[in-house]
Structure 1
Amino acid sequence: MKERLKKGLSALSVVLLAVCMLTPVHAAETASLNEALEQTARLQQLAEQYTAAQQTETDPLMLTINYIRAQRYADASWDMILGMPSEEFAQFAEQQAPELEQLQTLENVQIPATGELVDFVHLVAGIGATYKRMPVVCTWGGDCIQLAGSIQGTGADEEGCIQQLKPYFACEDENASLMPQSDWLADLDGVNIGSTLKSGDDLSGSIGKYYESITNEERARRFVLAQFGEADTGDQQAFRQQVKDKFFADSGVQLLLLSQKQMTLDEERNIVAVDAMDAPLNAVCSLTADTLAEMLGGAKVSEAPAETAQPQAGEAESVAQTGQPEQSQPTAPVLGQSSLAQTMQKHTWLPWALGGVVLFCLLVLMVLSRKGR
Structure 2
Amino acid sequence: MNKRMKKSLWALVGTMLCGCLLLAPGARAAETTALEDALEQTARLHQLAEEYAAGQQTETEPLTLTINYIRAQRYADTTWDMILGEPSEEFAGFVEQQAPELAQLQTLENVEIPATGEPVDFVHLVAGIGATWKRLPVVCTWGGDCIQLAGSVQGSGMDEESCIQQLKPYFACEDENASLLPKSDWLADLDGVNIGSTLTQDSDLAESIREYYRSISTGERARRFVLAQFGEVDTGDQQAFRQQVKDKFFSDSGVQLLLLSQKQMTLDEERNFVVVDSLNAPLNAVCSLTADTLAEMLDGAKVTGAAEETPQETGETQSPAQTSQPGEAQPTAPVLGQSSLARTMEKYSWLPWALGGVVLFCVLVLAVLSRKSR
Q: TM-score range by the shorter chain?
A: 0.7 to 0.9
Partners of 1:229 and 1:323 within 8 A in 2: no
Question: Residues 113 and 259 from structure 1, CA distance in 2 versus in 1: closer, same or farther, beyond 3 angstroms?
Answer: same
Once the two structures are TM-superposed, the CA of residue 269 in structure 1 deviates from its matched residue by 4.0
1:196-234 CA distance string (max 9 Å, x none): 001111100010111010001000000000001110000
Describe the SS at the equivalent of 1:264.
strand
For residue 233 of structure 2, what is the amino acid of its counterpart? Answer: A
Question: Residues 204 and 339 from structure 1, CA distance in 2 versus in 1: closer, same or farther, beyond 3 angstroms?
Answer: closer
Question: Residues 339 and 93 from structure 1, CA distance in 2 versus in 1: closer, same or farther, beyond 3 angstroms?
Answer: closer
Describe the SS at the equivalent of 2:59.
coil
Distance 2:30 2:300 in 1: 36
Question: Residues 110 and 250 from structure 1, CA distance in 2 versus in 1: closer, same or farther, beyond 3 angstroms?
Answer: same
Aligned to 1:364: none
Aligned to 1:62: 64
Select 2:321's aligned residue among 339, 342, 349: 342
Partners of 1:66 and 1:85 within 8 A in 2: yes
Aligned to 2:295: 293
Distance 1:320 1:69 in 2: 26
> Which structure 2 residue ranges, 5 or more long, are not aligned?
1-25, 330-374
Aligned-residue sequence identity (percent) comes to 76
Distance 2:274 2:195 in 1: 32
Partners of 2:191 and 2:221 within 8 A in 1: yes
Distance 1:266 1:202 in 2: 45
Aligned to 2:220: 218
Once the two structures are TM-superposed, the CA of residue 340 in structure 1 deviates from its matched residue by 2.6
Partners of 1:43 and 1:64 within 8 A in 2: yes
Aligned to 2:21: none
Once the two structures are TM-superposed, the CA of residue 260 in structure 1 deviates from its matched residue by 1.1
Distance 1:200 1:320 in 2: 19
Aligned to 1:144: 146
Once the two structures are TM-superposed, the CA of residue 41 in structure 1 deviates from its matched residue by 0.1
For residue 109 of structure 1, what is the amino acid of its counterpart? Answer: V
Partners of 2:265 and 2:275 within 8 A in 1: yes
Select 1:122's aligned residue among 124, 130, 143: 124
Once the two structures are TM-superposed, the CA of residue 296 in structure 1 deviates from its matched residue by 0.3
Describe the SS at the equivalent of 1:340.
coil
5 Å-filtered alignment, 1:300-319, equals 300-303=302-305
Distance 1:72 1:86 in 2: 15
Describe the SS at the equivalent of 1:54.
coil
Distance 2:299 2:167 in 1: 21
Aligned to 1:77: 79
- TM-score normalised by structure 2 residue count: 0.76
For residue 37 of structure 1, what is the amino acid of its counterpart? Answer: L
Distance 1:178 1:341 in 2: 28
Distance 2:166 2:210 in 1: 36
Describe the SS at the equivalent of 2:73.
coil
Question: Residues 304 and 28 from structure 1, CA distance in 2 versus in 1: closer, same or farther, beyond 3 angstroms?
Answer: closer
Partners of 2:228 and 2:313 within 8 A in 1: no
Distance 1:68 1:320 in 2: 27
Describe the SS at the equivalent of 2:156.
coil
Aligned to 1:32: 34
Aligned to 2:112: 110
Is 1:251 the equivalent of 2:230? no
Distance 2:134 2:309 in 1: 23
Partners of 1:127 and 1:191 within 8 A in 2: yes
Describe the SS at the equivalent of 1:213.
coil
Distance 1:116 1:91 in 2: 34
Partners of 2:249 and 2:287 within 8 A in 1: yes
For residue 340 of structure 1, what is the amino acid of its counterpart? Answer: S
Larger radius of gyration: 2
- TM-score normalised by structure 1 residue count: 0.77
Select 2:278's aligned residue among 276, 280, 289: 276
Partners of 2:219 and 2:297 within 8 A in 1: yes
Describe the SS at the equivalent of 2:274.
strand
Distance 1:25 1:234 in 2: 37
For residue 296 of structure 1, what is the amino acid of its counterpart? Answer: L
Is 1:170 the equivalent of 2:182? no
